[in-house]
Amino acid sequence: MASRATTDADFQADVLDSDTPVLVDFWAPWCGPCRNVSPILEEIAQERSDQLQVVKINIDDNPMTPARYGVTGIPTMTLFKGGQPVASIVGAQPKQRIVRELEPHLG
């Protein structure tokens, strides 16, 4: 399963109420590092579709959610499990680093 987009209005249903862990990519179209990390997150979404979902939220169009979770720089990737943030990665990182941060929280 590929990543999908969410909004401030849908964040509760798409992320917080999810039965599986959700990796949220806080991004913006003008952000170069966000564009660099996007294909990596798509790979992770495909490879780990049985363990987690990957959801993207455009911070320009949806400012309430990043403010609620203290996102001050992008890209920020936050893993939510059971409706709570359990891990956060700030900045474009190589795939191995992202996976290493996620693995302790995945079944």
Active-site hit among 24, 31, 77, 92: 31
Active-site hit among 34, 40, 41, 74: 34
Number of C-beta neighbours around residue 79 at 10 A: 22
Cα-to-chain-centroid distance, residue 7 = 13
Verify whether residue 31 is a known catalytic residue: yes
Element (H, E) at 100: helix 95-102
Q: What residues are labeled active site?
A: 31, 34
